[in-house]
Amino acid sequence: MKRVGIVGLGAIGRQVCRALDEGIGGLTLCGATARDRDKGEAFLRTLASKPPFLTLDELIEASDLVVEASTQAHLEEIAPRTLARGRDLVVLSCGGLLGRGDWVTLAGKHGARILVPSGAIAGLDAVKGARVGAITSVTMETRKPPRGLAGAPWIVEREIDLDAIKEETLIFEGPATEACRAFPANVNVLAALSLAGVGPERTRIRIHAVPGLTRNQHRITVEGEFGSLRVEIENVPSENPRTGKLSYLSTIALLRDLGAPLRVGT
């Protein structure tokens, strides 16, 4: 039985905890940690297995696999400490992986793996297959309600009044390298796409704010020697408007695959 620890008890972390508590073959929830200890302990007491609230170091020591469901900033602390202990790490704030080849090297040195769920998009299996050949371009268009972009560094630094947006507005256009710094909580889907495909420098995105939109929309276009790929998805937001429900559903699916005797897809 593989022991799983959860870092972060927000919209995604709580759902992953519930899924493990209800039962995923070959896995057991050994504990969790979060910024707010009181709220974290209160949530964990609602689970049937009553897993303990632990410090980060205690959690890493108790786990075989750690699920990061926190933030890019927190990942800077979580990743090296987890990988140096030889623990596998599931990364949801995968924008924080861009440019971190040192973490990949660290994982290899200690026999650990970094696992990235598909998150709130689809088609990564096809992109990974296409990458074996030649890919000429990867672009993504994202549309979100304005409140879903609140707090992003790009919005704050430019003092963009999201409440003043009354029609669809292009907020950002550029490469994944820049977008993941400008919108760290919004474009983990873009980071996953760039890691699966041609890299963050060659993966481009346009982000639109759309008043009245009730679902987060993503459109991916890939061109290459394999042909053309177009994927469109509309995500129902979770309780956190910046995160779609598919983000935690895909994480649960990844965990189920770890112990499954049959795995479908690349």
User: pLDDT by residue (tens digit) across 159-200?
Assistant: 999 999 999 999 999 999 999 889 988 888 899 999 999 999
Residues with Cβ within 8 Å of 188's Cβ and at least 6 positions away in sequence, in order, are 92, 93, 94, 95, 119, 120, 247
218 is catalytic: yes
Tokens of 43: 């949530």
User: pLDDT by residue (tens digit) across 113-161?
Assistant: 999 998 878 889 999 999 999 999 999 999 999 998 999 999 999 999 9
CA–CA distance, 111 with 86 (Å, rounded to integer): 6
Phi, psi of 244 (to 5 degrees): -85, 155
Confidence tier at 241 by pLDDT (50, 70, 90): low
Greater pLDDT, 244 or 187: 187
Tokens of 74: 């927190």
Check 74, 110, 208, 218 and give the catalytic one: 218
Contact 191, 200 (CB under 8 A): yes
Concatenated DSSP letters of 147-199: GGGTT-HHHHHTT--GGG--S-EEEEEEEHHHHHHHSTTT-HHHHHHHHHTT-
pLDDT at position 151 is 92
pTM assigned to the model: 0.88
Domains located in the chain, CATH noted? 2-120+246-258 (3.40.50.720), 124-242 (3.30.360.10)
Instruction: Measure CA of the first residue to CA of the last residue in the chain; give whole Å.
Output: 25
Specify which residues 27 forms β-bridges with. Answer: 2, 24
CA–CA distance, 245 with 75 (Å, rounded to integer): 21
Concatenated DSSP letters of 8-42: --SHHHHHHHHHHHH-BTTEEEEEEE-S-HHHHHH
